[in-house]
A and B are shown apart, each in its own frame.
Chain A
Amino acid sequence: MAVLLIAEHNNKELRPFTLNAATAASQIDSDVHAVIIGQNTAEAAKQLSELPVVKKVLSVEAAHYENFTAENFTPVIVKLAENYSHIVCSANTFGKNLMPRIAAHLDTSQVSDIIKVISSDTFLRPIYAGNAFATIKSNDSKKCVTIRPTSFDPCESSGGSAAIEKVEAGEEFSNTKFVKREEIKSDRPELGTARIVVSGGRGMQSGDNFKLITEIADKLGAAIGASRAAVDAGYISNDHQVGQTGKVVVPDLYIAIGISGAIQHLAGMKESKVIVAINKDGEAPIFSVADYGLEADLFEAIPQFMEELNKLNTIQK
């Protein structure tokens, strides 16, 4: 039986992590079907049909799907699940909210947040905030799996031409009403997908000093991150938080400035390709994961860093 991928989108277009989840789905079984549930999703459904790993697209549209309410999505997916061996979705807030509701209806023990497909029933997943990795084998006949998107490369986004099949909508769940969504708008790359992330910690000493982080981020075309300590101290809003209780990021370059490197922060960034730490405490745990460590006062180092960056002829964006 094929794998059913639940596409994440904003009704207009696919969200980027759907491509990473599609890669994981195709590693479970080459026969991947994708379901897109929303309202006025024709363009997003077309994008989905163009992913070469997707063999068939199922499109479900109704007004009550516009805001991705798990209570509305679940019955449709549970019904479709009859024909599939696996249901997969990204382990971001969309999938985390939705998948367990589906799994409970299917009487399946979900495997959350996998980072590797070992076989069609065995997966690797982090536990204890990434301080240990568990190899888990599922003995349920139908498997519900959520995927840590940053652990899988995005699939090709063009070249495919899967058929798009309409599926009848289910009933609306009347006890949950969407009220509003406040999206954080920014010209910067999104923290979860940025190539470079520059993060500040408690060492920044004030919200005002985060301007120094902003300048470097602007220069490098980077997203801005922060440690929980900096968020709790009120230096920056919590959507910037990197770590176990914030976002998990895997950029090409992660620059940690004035961050000591608490376990819960490391869990959110230690898979980054290159890590730079700037901290005046040479014993700070952040240095144990840094490829390049600079033991220095950040208020001297950051202006020098800007100066050196300005000397470069070109900076990759």
Chain B
Amino acid sequence: MKILVAVKRVIDYNVQIRVKEDGTGVVTDNVKMSTNPPDDNAIEEAVKIKEAGKATEVVAITVGEEKAQETVRKALAVGADRGIHVKVDSEIEPLAVSKILQKVVDKEKPDLVFMGKQAIDDDCNQTGQMLSALLNWPQATFASKIDVKENKLEVTREIDEGLETIEINVPAIVTCDLRLNEPRYASLPNIMKAKKKPIEEIPVSDLGVDVSPRLEQLKVEEPPKRKAGIKVANVAELVQKLKNEAKVI
């Protein structure tokens, strides 16, 4: 079984986001970038499945500018076998990403495609579902547990009401929740070894996919600030304020 894992380069989750003064986006210059956190879970799960002898190859793919390749290199350092970097010059929407992934799936013919459930930059939560629609494959979104069986997966999904378990036939798409596993760190020897693993670079123009934007981002602004509150001296004052001033209890 072959697993393709999609990873995205985003602003590191520990960075305090700053909005650009001209309202065109958020500040990314000199800001620490990392792999989208649930994409790390997707790589980890694929590598674990391979280590358990249930997969033969793990291929990491990213779609992005030059530096996005760092995320593929990181995936190689934690156990992916080879990488693919589809090069684009600008930000593209999830619909376009899913069309690119569809082309790569047609060529690579993986049995499974894993990715994070959502990217922490645009928070769209779309790409996996869109890819499975385009391929007409089953989708298991927000996965917190995956059991690999003969030609199928049993997947536990995190839903608002609790947990849902579904069984999907391979080939299939799984989008991963942070609770799926604990991603490992790359060891120094493995980071060195990863430098020798191949990464295939594909200009997006070679794929014949229309990636032109459908959405216009008119403005990016800071969310309204809460007005500063007060510190209360003790519990009695707190309860009195909640009862008589805020009138919420």
Contact = CB atoms under 8 A, between A and B. Distances in A.
B98 A176 contact: no
A104 B134 contact: yes
B104 interface: no
Q: Which of A69, A131, A140 has the most CB of B within 10 A?
A: A131
Interface in B146-164: 154, 157-164
B100 to A, nearest CB: 13
Main secondary structure of the interface of A (DSSP, over half): mixed
B248 A293 contact: no
Contact of B139 (A71, A274, A282): A71
B163 A175 contact: no
Chain A, interface size category, equals 35 or more
Interface string A295-314: 11000010011011100100
Contacts of A294: 231-232, 234-235, 238
Given A94-B160, A292-B242, A109 B217 contact: no
Interface in B196-233: 213-223, 226, 228-232
Contact of B179 (A111, A238, A275): A238
Given A103-B126, A127-B123, A128-B17, A289 B226 contact: yes
Interface stretch (B72-80, B105-113, B167-175): B167-175
A105 B139 CA distance: 14
Question: How many interface residues does chain B have, given as a range?
Answer: 35 or more
B166 A179 contact: yes
B248 A252 contact: yes
Interface stretch (A30-38, A81-89, A181-189): A181-189
A204 interface: no
Contacts of B13: 263-264
Contacts of B169: 174-176
A313 B132 CA distance: 57
A139 B218 CA distance: 12
Contacts of A273: 248
B158 to A, nearest CB: 7
A307 B162 CA distance: 34
B125 A301 contact: no
A294 B236 CA distance: 11
Main secondary structure of the interface of B (DSSP, over half): mixed
A49 B17 CA distance: 44
B125 A109 contact: no
B11 interface: yes
B249 A134 contact: no
Interface string A75-109: 00000000000000000111011111111110111
Given A128-B26, A263-B16, A70 B93 contact: no
Contacts of A244: 120
Given A292-B229, A292-B241, A181 B161 contact: yes
Interface in A124-168: 126-140
A305 B215 contact: no
A305 B235 contact: yes
A40 B128 CA distance: 31
Contacts of B167: 176-177, 179
B95 interface: yes
Contacts of A39: none
B217 A110 contact: no
7 contacts: A103-B95, A109-B95, A137-B216, A176-B139, A276-B242, A289-B226, A308-B238
Interface of B: 11, 13, 16-17, 19, 26, 93-95, 98, 120-134, 137-139, 141-142, 154, 157-169, 172, 177-179, 213-223, 226, 228-232, 234-236, 238-239, 241-243, 246, 248-249
Interface of A: 67, 69-71, 74, 92-94, 96-105, 107-113, 122, 126-140, 173-184, 192, 196, 220, 238-239, 244-245, 247, 252-253, 263-264, 270, 273-276, 282, 287-296, 301, 304-305, 307-309, 312, 315-316
